Structure 1
Amino acid sequence: MADDVFSQLRPITADEWPAFTEAMHAVFAEDPPADFAERPSPVAELDRSLALWDGDRVAATAGIYSRTLTVPGAVVPCAGVTWVTVAPTHRRRGVLTAIMRRQLTELHEQQREPVAGLWAAEYPIYGRFGYAPATVEARFSGRTERLRLRPDVDLGTGRVEQVSVEEYRPAAVAVHRAVHRFVPGNMARDERWWDRQLRDDPSQRKGATARRYLLHREADGTVTGYATYRVTDSWTDTGEPDGTLIVEEVRATSTPAYAALWQLLLSVDLVRTLKYQASSPDDPLRWLVTDGRALHSTPVDGLWVRLVDVDRALATRRYPTPIDLVLEVRDPFCPWNDGRWRLSGHPAGGYCGRTDRDPDIVLGIEELSAAYLGGVSLATLQAAGRVTEVSPGAVTLASAAFGWPVTPWCPDSF
């Protein structure tokens, strides 16, 4: 059945978008925004969509966004897999398998993105197709009366201003462009993605205020940081304020700018609770406050990564310590990756190519994909029985080489 489905999948036209998005949102139990239901969003790429039709109804959907992903020491084109749904009437027929195979086969045969990424609605689904969680999203919360900056924190000589979205946008674009290339898991944002990032539909606010915008300016007027947040209004039975500060994004090019932005955020009037739902698990905020225990963190899986072409993906990233090992990769879903690869890398570059040498490490594509951004240790995967060491010490060497000083983090959902 999966082979038949593979041939029946096809991209949609603009006229078919309403039926496509209706089917997609039905599976997610959502009502699409009115304008999204009528016409494709500006970031939609219909030529990279897939639909399975059952008469005049769409029974399955999928799509790809053309993104650029920061990896250790470099950036790489990344296929942002999205819109993946299968109607309840068509499950257990090999439809999802056909979608995944079609996407990955086309990426490989057309020599497009060497890496794919997605956000998994449910954890158990995508591992069987070679995807693995490669970043962690930290969901911070705490009572603001306990969250105060240490007295020795350098706040610099700049100032934080609340601004309009029109003033905020060009300044934030410049700061983001300066910082995102240094954090594995971050993605570039063009104008279309900034439009999406800054969309503030009242129906999507869930009882919070409109988004508020902050910029940090140095004494000479240079913008070195930005933040966005919302507030939900709440009061106790005794009339005391009990609002919640919902922080959406905080980025800066210097520590003083970052600290100054947080100093303002933690002093917003009528607020008693902080929520920061999409932070790096290694956010410096924990080291800026006087009471690190007051900042509670709930880690959840973030961006899932899949190496489409092992050689191209591994040759693109950098390695902080030298490595020259043979990896025997097992990838039954994408057989072009199956086999032995010699990986030679260092801080300035890398090489990966086929070899008939004996392997030093044996692992699956899922494990290799998990380690790709430097946030998951191959030694940890070995301890879980998911990586096999053939040459003594190879896993230790590879773990150091695949690591990276900056914790991977993806603040861009899609």
Structure 2
Amino acid sequence: MSTTSTELTARGLPPPAWEVQALPSTQWQEFYAAVLDAFHENEPEEATALWHSLAEPQRCLVVRDAGAIVGTAASFSFRMAVPGRHLVETAGVSMVSVQPTHRRRGVLSSLMRHQLDSLQSQGEPLAVLTASEAPIYGRFGYGVAARQLSLDIQSHRVSLTPPVADGVTLTIEAPDKALAACEELYARQVPHRPGMLVRAAGWERLPLLDSPGRDSAAYPLKCVVARVDGEIAGYARYTVAIDWSPQNTAQGSVRVRDIEAAEPRVYAALWRFLLETDLTSRVIAPNRPVDDALLHMVSDVRHCAPTVLDSLYVRVVDAPVALAARSYATPFDLVLELEDAQAPWNRGRWRLTGGQAGAVCTRTDAMPDLSLDAATLGAAYLGGTTLTELAAAGRVGAHRPEALATATAAFTSPVAPWLPHSFCRSLLPRL
């Protein structure tokens, strides 16, 4: 580590060149304590034990100052669904933190650059993260590729239109006992929506964790399971918080942690159940896809208070591999000129030819049709943010007007990308 002082750095001199180190497996507890401290959090032993079991120490990085951990970054090994129902090796970046005493001194930049180099050498073409602070990661080439819909429904003010849930039976089951069947259904859903992650063994327990800062005895997690012809076809995990008005009337709220369904009538049956829960007048669902079918089932969407938030940030680590790993809605043949300040191996011009059957991406010296940077490519990669809207924001240069329309049509996904599965300790739902 450089001996440059904080005072000198504050006067505008270059920040110290911090040494980034791999984490010895024996130092996990120290690493995780630094993460919790940076996010001003604590948690029950059960949660710490689960994160320890999920951790991949060889993918954990630290920066130390005088022996103490002052910066952390980790990544998890995932496969992510991309357009065309392909599953692509993806690094889930998480537990990125800098201690308050060392902020704005280059620690984060050192960690992110080292991590990007490592992911490229490991052959992972994509990296994803969810950001605790939105402005941070654009400068490292991450773009907002998926958003989430937050709903706060006045359940006594809305009703559901068809589909009618004929043939669907619902049962309340212990979340632990229903876990295997629910996880099997989740796994079947993954390829159908870009942004969803394949959950390796152990990750299925994360949605069952008690939320940070909540009294689990007061609001235990519940699970309702839907079956058709005896086979599981959907589930919803939720909590119920009951409050009473001065007039002694119930003003409870249902808080939806996750909900999956294999077909529309099952989805409708689960939502009817949630909206009609006794002693409640409110259903809160903080993370739904922006094209959620519920918006077209409710009688009055205004009483659902829909709010759209940023969710999944995508970083294209290896441009030719990542671009060739997905399918495209329409056939096209274009030259993309990519600027990437952090990953020089991505810079330059790439000829991308593809369609619904797949794609090929190779270097070229031909004149570019479109010019964009790494964060813009990440934003467009899953098909939820169009290149046309990015061009309108000045983030895509179109050297031929027709090329922009062609690329927009090709990159678009028929369903909105969405991340229902958290892998970031600081952003677990507080339900």
Normalization by structure 2: what TM-score?
A: 0.91
| CA distance 1:142–1:191, shift in 2 (3 Å) | same
Which residue, out of 241, 246, 249, partners 2:250? Answer: 241
**Superposition pairs of residues 85-96 of structure 1, within 5 angstroms:** 85-96=97-108
Query: How much has 1:290 moved relative to structure 2?
Result: 1.6
Measured in 1, the distance between the counterparts of 2:215 and 2:352 equals 48
Assess if the C-alpha contact under 8 Å between 1:22 and 1:32 holds in 2. no
1:302 corresponds to which residue? 311
Runs of 4+ in 1 over 6 A off after TM superposition: none
Query: How much has 1:35 moved relative to structure 2?
Result: 5.1
- Pair 1:178 & 2:188 matched: yes
Query: How much has 1:165 moved relative to structure 2?
Result: 2.2
| CA distance 1:404–1:310, shift in 2 (3 Å) | same
Query: How much has 1:335 moved relative to structure 2?
Result: 0.7
| CA distance 1:352–1:202, shift in 2 (3 Å) | closer
Query: How much has 1:197 moved relative to structure 2?
Result: 2.0
2:163 corresponds to which residue? 153
Which residue, out of 350, 353, 358, partners 1:344? Answer: 353
1:46 corresponds to which residue? 57
Measured in 1, the distance between the counterparts of 2:15 and 2:119 equals 18
**Superposition pairs of residues 269-348 of structure 1, within 5 angstroms:** 269-348=278-357
Deviation string, structure 1 residues 171-200 (Cα, Å, up to 9, x no partner): 111211111110111111122100222223
Query: How much has 1:19 moved relative to structure 2?
Result: 2.0
1:262 corresponds to which residue? 271
2:151 corresponds to which residue? 140
Deviation string, structure 1 residues 190-243 (Cα, Å, up to 9, x no partner): 22100222223695457851111111111x201111111101111111111100
Measured in 1, the distance between the counterparts of 2:33 and 2:297 equals 46
Measured in 2, the distance between the counterparts of 1:370 and 1:192 equals 29
- Pair 1:216 & 2:226 matched: yes
Which residue, out of 165, 173, 179, partners 1:169? Answer: 179
| CA distance 1:37–1:285, shift in 2 (3 Å) | closer
2:136 corresponds to which residue? 125
Measured in 2, the distance between the counterparts of 1:201 and 1:40 equals 14
Unpaired runs of 5+ residues, structure 1, are none
Measured in 1, the distance between the counterparts of 2:28 and 2:153 equals 42
Q: Match of 2:295, SS?
A: helix
Unpaired runs of 5+ residues, structure 2, are 3-13, 424-431
Which residue, out of 82, 87, 106, partners 1:75? Answer: 87
1:377 corresponds to which residue? 386
Measured in 2, the distance between the counterparts of 1:208 and 1:386 equals 48
Query: How much has 1:57 moved relative to structure 2?
Result: 1.5
Q: Match of 1:191, SS?
A: coil
Letter of the 1:72 counterpart: P
Query: How much has 1:289 moved relative to structure 2?
Result: 1.5
Letter of the 1:104 counterpart: L
Query: How much has 1:110 moved relative to structure 2?
Result: 2.8
- Pair 1:31 & 2:42 matched: yes
Q: Percent identity?
A: 38
Assess if the C-alpha contact under 8 Å between 2:175 and 2:237 holds in 1. no
Measured in 2, the distance between the counterparts of 1:247 and 1:270 equals 16
Assess if the C-alpha contact under 8 Å between 1:3 and 1:98 holds in 2. no
- Pair 1:413 & 2:422 matched: yes
| CA distance 1:67–1:175, shift in 2 (3 Å) | same
Which residue, out of 118, 125, 128, partners 1:106? Answer: 118
- Pair 1:60 & 2:71 matched: yes
Q: Match of 2:308, SS?
A: strand
2:8 corresponds to which residue? none
Query: How much has 1:167 moved relative to structure 2?
Result: 3.3
